[in-house]
Amino acid sequence: MKALLLVEPGRIELASVAVPEPKAGEVLICVKASTTCGTDLKAFNRGHPQIPMPGPFGHEYAGTVVAAGTDAPFSPGDDVMGVHSAPCQQCYWCQNGQENLCESIMATKVLGTYAEYLLIPERIARLNLFPKSKAMSFDVASLLEPLACVAQGILEIQMASVSLGSALVIGPGAIGLMFASALKKVGFGHVTLAGRNPARLAVGERLGATVTQVSDIKLHEGRGYDVVIECTGQVEVWEASVNYVRRGGHVMLFGGCKGGTTATFDTKRLHYDQITLMSPFHFGTEAVRTAHKWLTHELDLSPLITRTATLEEGTDVFAALNRGEGIKTVFHP
């Protein structure tokens, strides 16, 4: 089968590799759609600790089951959508309601969705693979993984009993746009999306957000926002985020920064204005189920997909993403 491999930073190659065979509990899917992700772009540009090189590339997918091992939860012909990891449900963190921090969350992860076929390991097939409704396109179904990250953030906000009034999302990439959409869905009356890229902000407007340039952010109603969500992964933006939240509000530092970086905050502001910092990572099974429900019934995220490509166009796709063109590209292997 054809598969895109990430050979080294800046170089991807279309290779011919063997089609894997599913063992007990595993399923093999024919990949119908596989979306690009900011993580992939980071790996393409500078490498990534979770993405070995040279190796299979891509982690977002939807497709049709073509073969299944014994006792697998799906059968050939089923249309499915899934994420690329699943928790063990046995370690300390899993047992204490933090499956997203599972010790072995990455141990069974599946990479290589930019390929004609993808083998889904038993644990993922059992916990984090779902049926795709006929009404939903494979392209949109492939957005389950990034939306699960966002759902984890929203679940954390709901658990923290934050008032569902106003939210500011900084960074109009795919994650910021998904946050803007999901925050409205869970009941935030006012959502502002701040960024620089006009084309992305226009998509935010279509998704129901009020948009603004970063330099023009105002304190909501003179007080600041109930919640501020940072989605850029830039240290300066982490630090600036606390300036826009109201006293007693919550700041979610969502975008992962470059390794080894340090952020500085005004201690007086954090303490006397009682600012709560949150920084959720990855997702547990509840977040994936929530994202599946949103995508199936409640959110239309199709405006996030701005280009369709073949595997042969891989190099060009990542060059274009590096130029800031578009939001997500979907490969049709």
Q: Site residues (CB under 5 A) for Zn ion? A: 37, 87-88, 91, 94, 102, 145-146
Residue 221: CB minimum distance to Zn ion, A: 35
Whether residue 61 contacts residue 3, with contact meaning beta carbons closer than 8 Å, is answered with no
Question: In terms of C-beta density within 10 A (0-12 exposed, 13-18 middle, 19 or more buried), how is residue 312 classed?
Answer: exposed
Comparison of 34 and 166: residue with beta carbon closer to Zn ion: 34
Comparison of 91 and 263: residue with beta carbon closer to Zn ion: 91
DSSP summary character for residue 302: G
β-strand partners of 67? 28
Comparison of 26 and 145: residue with beta carbon closer to Zn ion: 145
Comparison of 94 and 168: residue with beta carbon closer to Zn ion: 94
Residue 214: CB minimum distance to Zn ion, A: 24
Residue 102: CB minimum distance to Zn ion, A: 3
Residue 94: CB minimum distance to Zn ion, A: 3
Comparison of 50 and 163: residue with beta carbon closer to Zn ion: 50
User: Residue 182, CB half-sphere, CA atoms under 13 Å: how many?
Assistant: 27
Residue 67: CB minimum distance to Zn ion, A: 25
Comparison of 145 and 230: residue with beta carbon closer to Zn ion: 145
Comparison of 1 and 41: residue with beta carbon closer to Zn ion: 41
Q: Which residues, 6 or more positions from 254, have their beta carbon under 8 angstroms from its beta carbon?
A: 153, 175, 179, 229, 230, 231, 279, 280
User: How far separated are the first and last CA of the chain, in Å rounded?
Assistant: 10
Distance CA 134, CA 184 (A): 26
Residue 86: CB minimum distance to Zn ion, A: 9
Q: Helix, strand or coil for residue 93?
A: helix
Comparison of 105 and 193: residue with beta carbon closer to Zn ion: 105
Return phi, psi of residue 101, to 5°. Answer: -100, 10
Residue 106: CB minimum distance to Zn ion, A: 11
Residue 251: CB minimum distance to Zn ion, A: 23
Q: Which residues, 6 or more positions from 46, have their beta carbon under 8 angstroms from its beta carbon?
A: 9
SS3 annotation, 22-80? CCCCCEEEEEEEEECCHHHHHHHHHCECCECCCEECCCCEEEEEEEECCCCCCCCCCEE
Computed on alpha carbons and rounded to an integer, the radius of gyration of the chain in Å comes to 20
DSSP summary character for residue 266: -
Q: Which residues, 6 or more positions from 1, have their beta carbon under 8 angstroms from its beta carbon?
A: 16, 17, 18, 19, 115, 116, 117
